[in-house]
Structure 1
Amino acid sequence: MLSWLKKWYTHKFSDPQVVVLFLMLLIGFLAIYWLGGILAPLLVAIAFAYLLEWPVARLSRMGLSRSISTTLVVMTFLTLSTLILMWIMPLFWHQGRTLLRDMPIMIEQGRQYLLELPDAFPGMISTEQVNIFMQSVDERLMAFGRDMLSLSLASIVDLVALMIYLILVPLLVFFMLKDKKLLQERFTALLPSERKLISQVWHEMNLQIMNYIRGKILEIIIVGAVSYAVFAMFGLNYPLLLGVLVGFSVLIPYIGAAVVTLPIALVALFQWGFSAQFGYLMLAYGLIQALDGNLLVPLLFAEAIDLHPVFIIVAVLFFGGLFGFWGIFFAIPLASLVKATITAWSTRVHPATEVPE
């Protein structure tokens, strides 16, 4: 057994390029794990830089300089983002306050539904079980209220952090796009001269990350906008709030769609009860999810996702547990990175067996 492990280790790690790649990945994962809070503005800037690289490159190919292209794209993006936020945020805030105001009525209505269950299903559900469940719900709501209060008390600190984001992130995005080639050259200079394996993994991942981030942002916007339009057309309460929730649910593949179904169904149930309107709304919502999974995702991520759904779910759970939100957002690129590294590592010819050119 020991001899086999020694032979395997010698075969896989005798190449300096493999060791360098392994150390780079290890240092990167540890840095994000321990310094994730400090590096958060940098991660946000990297995501937006990948998103805006395509229009900058297009303008550059049309004859504009890289500096002018970057300035035009970043200014246009900031202007559109500001206008959209100025329209969405007041509506989002108003619907959020309305939901909190209506929450006691919804809870009482839900309590009445539950108290009717022992009569509808005698011998299966007892009044005592319903009371225990409602007591548990009340305790969780009280805990949620305390958390929201503590969050509001810490809002000043969050506001300062938000102001830092609003200043640092656009500057980082601008310089990352404007000096992309210079930054790549400086980073490449730090690597050893023998970096064929690193380049192989990097070129594969660079294209996948760019396609993934651009596709994911477009998916959030399209799914959120269509959901909002459908909810508003049906007259569902809090349509913008629920539409934004559905949009951001696509960040968590498979799991997000299942989780976000519950609040939509509850709001519709409290508003209409078990009626035809409730059924039509849930049917329309199911159609949105089906079109997203079977049409939109293959169209947007044809070049970015080549992973089995089981691996995607495991990656979301694993990297989300390690890195929080950014682990969830980058779960698929990180899983693709692991896959590309293992593929390049496994198919690499041992230096001793390489045929000289």
Structure 2
Amino acid sequence: MTLRQVFKSWIDHYFSDEEAVILLVVLVLGFTALILFGRMLAPFLTALVFAFLLQGGVNALVRRGMPHLLAVIVIFLGFLGVLLTLAFILMPLIWNQLVGLVQETPRMFASGQQLIDDLQERYPHLVTPDQVQEWIGVAGREMTQFGQRALTLSLASLGNVLALIIYLVLVPILVFFLLKDREQLVAFTLSLLPQKRILMTRIWNEMDAQIANYVRGKFIEIIIVGTVAFFTFAFFGLPYSALLGVVVGFSVLVPYIGAAVATLPVAAVAGFHFGPTHDFLYVLIAYGVLQALDGNVLAPVLFSETNNIHPVSIIVAVLFFGGIWGFWGVFFAIPLATLLKALVYAWPRGIHKQHDKKAVESLGEE
């Protein structure tokens, strides 16, 4: 069999169905538009995520007899209150702690250098002076690069103030209209698709509940883990508790890797603040208990309806989609991986087999 025949056989096997070809074109056009115009459409995509997140609350109020418009207004006002609280209370606190941490860095660096000198004096055969100088040089270079990146970020943020204001104005407006006119927007989107969309409907029905469960569950997980981490660090008197709480909360976006990465700043701040004392050990134990409860209790409860995906697939999806779309790519890595898994299992070749099986069973019953 020639290469051309093999390729033709593969095309006939997977793309003999007309709807499969249409679905492939829709997927290619959709991903291409996101890759090319994702940054321009970022406010709309952000509003779409928030609207999807808040739709469950609107539906709950409507089921209790509240008119749709009034339910939208109530949920939107709650969302607006949370957004303003984050913008004018939490964000300034986190920014002040970040500035304080950057200003405290030279002292931490000096303490670390003193710790290395003490290790060299206690264990001269284990830690040589050349190793000490090498570690100090590496740390100095890293601190210099960190300072340069922080300065660049600060200068760049001055130009992004307008963009932040645009987000704070545009996103709430878009969220309100996406909630208010959801039925009209969905009907318009469906009118752009082909009349025959059995495969698309099947895949969407499989993905809808899972995406809703994941998005809402992930937001709840971020809030719970970040809040518990903040109060835990504040209880032990750890400085920069709000900043570390935000870091730990957002670390749940990246399974397995996020928890390991968030451990470094927590351990560094606790180590430099408490030194090699029992308090340092207590902070690490409390942080380990928090991560264990999140991974073994909270996450299974929140994501009980989500398809299980192999950890290797999750890490690959995070690396791939995060490299393309940044934060939102990391956030939606698992739903996108689930979508690809659903596409593989629901492709027309599987539908034909199910139809053949049903036909055989019906003939047997006759």
Question: TM-score normalized by structure 1?
Answer: 0.94
**Among 34, 46, 63, the residue aligned to 2:36:** 34
CA–CA distance in structure 2, aligned partners of residues 353 and 300 of structure 1: 38
Confirm whether residue 18 of structure 1 aligns to residue 27 of structure 2. Answer: no
Aligned to 1:203: 205
Confirm whether residue 169 of structure 1 aligns to residue 171 of structure 2. Answer: yes
Cα deviation digits, residues 62-111 of structure 1 (max 9, x gap): 23332221122111211133235433233323322221221111001111
Cα deviation digits, residues 234-274 of structure 1 (max 9, x gap): 11111111111101111111101000101111111111112
CA–CA distance in structure 1, aligned partners of residues 356 and 59 of structure 2: 42
- Please show how residues 246-261 of structure 1 align to structure 2 within 5 Å: 246-261=248-263
CA–CA distance in structure 1, aligned partners of residues 98 and 118 of structure 2: 30
Aligned to 1:349: 352
* RMSD, matched Cα: 2.1
Aligned to 2:9: 7
**Among 83, 91, 111, the residue aligned to 1:81:** 83
Shift of 1:15: 0.6
What is the total number of aligned residue pairs between the two structures?
357
Aligned to 2:58: 56
**Amino acid of the structure 1 residue aligned with 2:92:** P
CA–CA distance in structure 2, aligned partners of residues 276 and 165 of structure 1: 45
CA gap of 1:233–1:352, structure 2 versus 1, over 3 A, is: closer
**Amino acid of the structure 2 residue aligned with 1:165:** Y
CA–CA distance in structure 1, aligned partners of residues 72 and 8 of structure 2: 52
**Among 86, 93, 99, the residue aligned to 1:91:** 93
Aligned to 1:43: 45
CA–CA distance in structure 2, aligned partners of residues 173 and 204 of structure 1: 25
Shift of 1:191: 1.0
**Amino acid of the structure 2 residue aligned with 1:156:** L
CA gap of 1:352–1:294, structure 2 versus 1, over 3 A, is: closer
CA gap of 1:83–1:119, structure 2 versus 1, over 3 A, is: same
Aligned to 1:268: 270
Cα deviation digits, residues 192-223 of structure 1 (max 9, x gap): 11110011111221211111110011000000
- Please show how residues 234-245 of structure 1 align to structure 2 within 5 Å: 234-245=236-247
Shift of 1:17: 1.0
Q: Is the 8 A contact 1:95 1:238 kept in 2?
A: yes
Shift of 1:120: 4.2
CA–CA distance in structure 1, aligned partners of residues 352 and 307 of structure 2: 27
Shift of 1:350: 7.0
CA–CA distance in structure 2, aligned partners of residues 7 and 225 of structure 1: 56
CA–CA distance in structure 1, aligned partners of residues 326 and 313 of structure 2: 18
Shift of 1:323: 1.7
CA–CA distance in structure 2, aligned partners of residues 340 and 258 of structure 1: 30
**Among 154, 157, 177, the residue aligned to 2:156:** 154
**Amino acid of the structure 1 residue aligned with 2:64:** M
After TM superposition, which residue ranges in structure 1, 4 or more long, deviate above 6 angstroms? 350-354
Bigger Cα displacement from structure 2, 345-354 vs 289-298: 345-354
Q: Is the 8 A contact 1:118 1:124 kept in 2?
A: yes
Confirm whether residue 281 of structure 1 aligns to residue 306 of structure 2. Answer: no
Aligned to 2:231: 229
Shift of 1:278: 1.0
**SS of the residue 1:144 aligns to:** helix
Cα deviation digits, residues 152-202 of structure 1 (max 9, x gap): 223332111111111111111111111111111111111111110011111
**Among 111, 114, 117, the residue aligned to 1:112:** 114
Q: Is the 8 A contact 1:51 1:214 kept in 2?
A: yes
Cα deviation digits, residues 123-147 of structure 1 (max 9, x gap): 4432222222322222222222222
Aligned to 1:100: 102
CA–CA distance in structure 1, aligned partners of residues 243 and 258 of structure 2: 16
CA gap of 1:15–1:129, structure 2 versus 1, over 3 A, is: same
| Identical positions, percent | 46
**SS of the residue 1:349 aligns to:** helix
CA gap of 1:123–1:305, structure 2 versus 1, over 3 A, is: farther
CA–CA distance in structure 2, aligned partners of residues 352 and 74 of structure 1: 45
CA–CA distance in structure 2, aligned partners of residues 96 and 150 of structure 1: 15
Bigger Cα displacement from structure 2, 336-345 vs 1-10: 1-10
**SS of the residue 1:204 aligns to:** helix
**SS of the residue 2:254 aligns to:** coil
CA–CA distance in structure 2, aligned partners of residues 47 and 139 of structure 1: 40
CA–CA distance in structure 2, aligned partners of residues 173 and 232 of structure 1: 34
Shift of 1:330: 0.4
Give the unaligned 5+ runs of structure 2.
none
**Amino acid of the structure 2 residue aligned with 1:317:** L
Aligned to 2:315: 313
Bigger Cα displacement from structure 2, 252-261 vs 127-136: 127-136
Give the unaligned 5+ runs of structure 1.
none
Bigger Cα displacement from structure 2, 279-288 vs 136-145: 136-145
Confirm whether residue 327 of structure 1 aligns to residue 329 of structure 2. Answer: yes
